[in-house]
């Protein structure tokens, strides 16, 4: 009997060890695929911005988007993760907490006892690259590549992650002092990037020909609108990875938000699909434009992002409709103010995110926090947080671009802009000769019989 009990205890211990191992594997695999899906966001931004450019700028726009990801990721490794871990309490760094994010830390490389740091860092690095891609679309067709890279590094490696440390950390001061809540990063990702882009656009100025006399707004049409619409849909695919990365997975069927509030994948699935559909419908009612319908779908997600973990799905749908209605109007207002945002990034991400953050304070005030001592959610917390996110984005975007402008390094020369950035800067052609109706020497003319 004693021997049987000993054998049973050994089997139980083996099963418990296996369960722990599977828990670790499940967590790693979940975030691994979140990171993979998030790359679809960048494939989508690439297609979206190349399609939105005129044919003479298509490759230059693509190069800028590719380099945004390539530069932001190593910068985020060397300084970004340290910023996130060091500044949740405010502008005074916590060097002890931040030590785990230093490049030489044992947590920042191969370590068989640490199955979490790399995948969490990877997800956040892709969030950082997303902010740079949001900026990228707004400034196409006239910004210097070197200036864009500097701005992308400031945004993706600095501004957004400081905002995330305050607003998207379990010990962030917006949560612990005021009761802030933003499940899907409408504030620290979308508002920060959108308002950063606004600061840059004020100094960058409009594309040549965008505005005429007497506040005339000219249409500088995309060269391939179907490609842009496809890119927007691909961004939606990537957002399922993005929003998965907004959750903490314990590996035993238990999920929480980044703030520790309990939730489920089921709750998020209900709400993401409903607000996405609402955003499309809202933009369709407002514009009938397929580009804005898909942009409205994105805005619908940002409109409900702060409460995707707790909303009732019909409310998420209505908030999404509101996002789809508001963002085209915001873009028109910006154009009337002389702001040339080539893809509507400021309105979709900045204003859409703002609507989402404030809407949570209206419709979910009183939701309890699980962090000890943190106030329940409330409108004032959302207003303070929204103001903070807007400033953390706008101020560095405006100041750094103003410095680059004063040095003559922000915008390409007028001659290069009129010629097209591809011809001036890119050593290959985007399309074969004659693709856009220009006669080719190698293609004989074909007579078309009269009807």
Q: Is the dihedral of CA 11, 16, 19, 21 positive or negative?
A: negative
DSSP string computed for 244-299: HTTEEE-SSS-EEETTS-EE-HHHHHHHHHHHHHHHHHHHHHHH--HHHHHHHHHH
Query: Using 50, 70 and 90 to split pLDDT, how confident is the model at 440?
Result: very low
Q: Give the percent of the chain with pLDDT over 70.
A: 90
> Is residue 7 predicted with pLDDT exceeding 90?
no
> Is residue 447 predicted with pLDDT exceeding 50?
no
Residue 249 backbone dihedrals phi, psi, to 5 degrees: -110, 120
Per-residue model confidence as pLDDT tens digits over 173-187: 999 999 999 999 999
Residue 217 backbone dihedrals phi, psi, to 5 degrees: -105, 115
Verdict on whether the full-model pTM lies above 0.85: yes
Per-residue model confidence as pLDDT tens digits over 47-82: 999 999 999 999 999 999 999 999 999 999 999 999
Report the distance separating Cα 351 and Cα 396, nearest Å.
18
3-state secondary structure of 16: helix
Angle at 345 between CA 340 and CA 347, to 5 degrees: 85
Residues in the chain: 451
CB environment 226-235: b (16+ within 10 A), e (fewer) = ebbbbbbebb
Domain 24-425 in this protein, CATH class: mainly alpha
Report the distance separating Cα 204 and Cα 143, nearest Å.
7
- Whether residue 158 contacts residue 83, with contact meaning beta carbons closer than 8 Å, is answered with yes
């Amino acid at each position: 009997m004693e021997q049987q009990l000993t054998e049973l205890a050994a089997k139980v211990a083996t099963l418990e060890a296996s369960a722990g191992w599977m828990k670790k594997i499940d967590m790693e695999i979940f975030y691994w695929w979140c990171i993979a899906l998030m790359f679809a966001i960048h494939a989508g931004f690439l297609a979206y911005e190349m399609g939105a450019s005129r044919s003479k700028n298509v490759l230059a726009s693509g190069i800028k988007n590719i380099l945004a990801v390539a530069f932001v990721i190593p910068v985020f490794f060397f300084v970004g993760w340290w910023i996130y871990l060091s500044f949740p309490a405010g502008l005074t760094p916590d060097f002890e907490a931040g030590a785990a994010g230093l490049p030489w830390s044992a947590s920042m490389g191969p370590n068989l006892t640490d199955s979490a740091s790399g995948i969490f860092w990877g997800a956040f690095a892709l969030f950082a690259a997303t902010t740079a891609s949001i900026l990228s679309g707004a400034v196409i067709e006239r910004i210097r590549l070197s200036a864009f890279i500097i701005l992308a590094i400031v945004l993706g490696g600095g501004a957004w992650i400081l905002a995330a440390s305050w607003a998207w950390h379990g010990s962030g001061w917006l949560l612990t002092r005021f009761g802030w809540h933003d499940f899907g990063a409408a504030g620290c990702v979308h508002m920060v990037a959108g308002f950063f882009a606004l600061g840059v656009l004020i100094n960058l100025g409009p594309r040549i020909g965008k505005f005429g006399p007497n506040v005339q707004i000219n249409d500088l049409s995309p060269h391939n609108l179907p490609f842009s619409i496809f890119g927007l849909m691909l961004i939606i695919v990537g957002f399922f990875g993005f929003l998965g990365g907004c959750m903490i997975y314990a590996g035993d069927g238990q999920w929480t938000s980044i703030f520790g509030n309990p939730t489920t994948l089921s709750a998020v699935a209900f709400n993401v699909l409903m607000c996405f559909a609402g955003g499309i419908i809202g933009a369709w009612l407002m514009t009938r434009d397929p580009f804005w319908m898909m942009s409205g779908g994105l805005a619908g997600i940002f409109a409900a992002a702060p409460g995707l973990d707790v909303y009732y799905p019909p409310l998420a749908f209505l908030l999404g409709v509101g996002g789809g209605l508001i963002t085209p109007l915001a873009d028109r207002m910006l154009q009337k103010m002389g702001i040339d945002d080539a893809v509507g990034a400021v309105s979709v991400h900045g204003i859409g995110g703002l609507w989402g953050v404030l809407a949570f304070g209206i419709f979910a005030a009183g939701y309890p926090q699980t962090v000890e001592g943190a106030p329940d959610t409330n409108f004032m917390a959302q207003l303070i947080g929204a103001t903070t996110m807007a400033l953390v984005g706008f101020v560095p975007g405006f100041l750094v671009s103003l410095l680059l402008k004063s040095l003559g390094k922000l915008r390409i020369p007028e001659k290069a802009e009129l010629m097209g950035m591809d011809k001036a800067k890119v050593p290959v052609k985007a399309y074969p000769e004659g693709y856009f109706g220009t006669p080719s020497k190698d293609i004989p003319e074909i007579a078309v019989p009269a009807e």
